[in-house]
Amino acid sequence: MDSFVEINELQKQIDDFHLGPINVTVEPGTITALVGNNGSGKSSLLKLMMNLAKPDTGNTTIFGKKVSSENESWKSHVSYQPQTVIGWNAYTGKTLKNLISALYPNWDEVAFNHMVDLFDIPLNKQFGKLSQGVQQKLSLALTIPRNTPLLLLDEPTSFMDIPSKKHLTDILVDWMDQGDRAIIMASHQSADMMKLADYLSVIRSGEWIGNFEKEALTETFKRYWVSNSLPAAHIPGEVSRGDQQIISNQPEATENYFLENNLEWANRTALDLEDIITLLLQRKHGDGSFAS
């Protein structure tokens, strides 16, 4: 099956902030997390994908259609939850549901009611009078049941309590199971959302670091404790070092070096995904190691 999304060499200058060039492909059946520090450009990328901003160079294709063209028919296949919704404050959840559900032929009323019950969302209160967390839940309940094949979520859990995050994870897993679907979600480093992701697309202050398969990434990074002091020279694969320990993203090359240089290592452990992301979001030195 064809890709749902193809982003090619996309770049955008916003005042003194430069985003890209970004290259991302999203296949059906996958969840991609856009990961980056604050202000790295995650929301801007989602807006570019939704044709809410124009790129300076490059292009995005969604379901085979260029998003920059005047024909936006592809939008009926995409559900987008922005970080902040504008224009909803005066309306109750009930009114918003009636307005939005009428626009989406595959609207899933059962899924909507399930989310309202699970998140305990009051539908008779004006959106603007709800807490930020409840607004976020209502916004999701008005987005996920649209049942389009592609779901774009911008920081879906930033105001949510821990049980709600867990509920949302379950909802998204069920949602993915219902057909050829894909999710792209911006996230700082929410552990729940990271658990869901198949791929991480990492952006550091506008600079796109790359797409990584999550499982492969967690298998690549290893921490070694060595018995002797480390040599001053850069060790193959080294991305960071501490007192008698080194982190490598090329374990084979590192272990060969240890062997060739009679350096004994006592222990080797995998890194948490959070630690790996933290390293990826740090600046690199010229020798490939990361700034501490």
Ligand X SMILES: Nc1ncnc2c1ncn2[C@@H]1O[C@H](COP(=O)(O)OP(=O)(O)OP(=O)(O)O)[C@@H](O)[C@H]1O
Residues of this chain that interact with ligand X (CB under 6 A) are 14-15, 17, 36, 38-44, 186, 188
Helix runs in 178-233, H state only: 191-196, 214-220
Distances (CA, A) of 169 to 3, 31, 69, 110: 24, 12, 34, 18
The nearest distance, CB 188 to ligand X, in angstroms, is 6
The nearest distance, CB 262 to ligand X, in angstroms, is 46
C-alpha 223/C-alpha 230 separation (Å) is 14
The nearest distance, CB 158 to ligand X, in angstroms, is 8
The nearest distance, CB 44 to ligand X, in angstroms, is 3
Other C-beta atoms closer than 10 Å to the C-beta of 234 total: 13
C-alpha 33/C-alpha 262 separation (Å) is 41
Nearer to ligand X, 36 or 93 (CB): 36
Nearer to ligand X, 12 or 181 (CB): 12
The nearest distance, CB 39 to ligand X, in angstroms, is 4
Nearer to ligand X, 42 or 181 (CB): 42
Nearer to ligand X, 121 or 186 (CB): 186
Other C-beta atoms closer than 10 Å to the C-beta of 86 total: 6
C-alpha 288/C-alpha 118 separation (Å) is 47
The residues with which 100 forms a beta bridge, in sequence order, are none
Calculate the CA 125 to chain-centre distance. 31
Distances (CA, A) of 249 to 30, 235, 255, 275, 290: 24, 11, 11, 12, 11
The residues with which 210 forms a beta bridge, in sequence order, are 202
Nearer to ligand X, 44 or 148 (CB): 44
C-alpha 247/C-alpha 218 separation (Å) is 12
Nearer to ligand X, 92 or 190 (CB): 190
Nearer to ligand X, 116 or 200 (CB): 200
Supply the angle between the helices 132-141 and 93-101 in degrees, to the nearest 10.
30
The nearest distance, CB 227 to ligand X, in angstroms, is 41
The nearest distance, CB 153 to ligand X, in angstroms, is 12
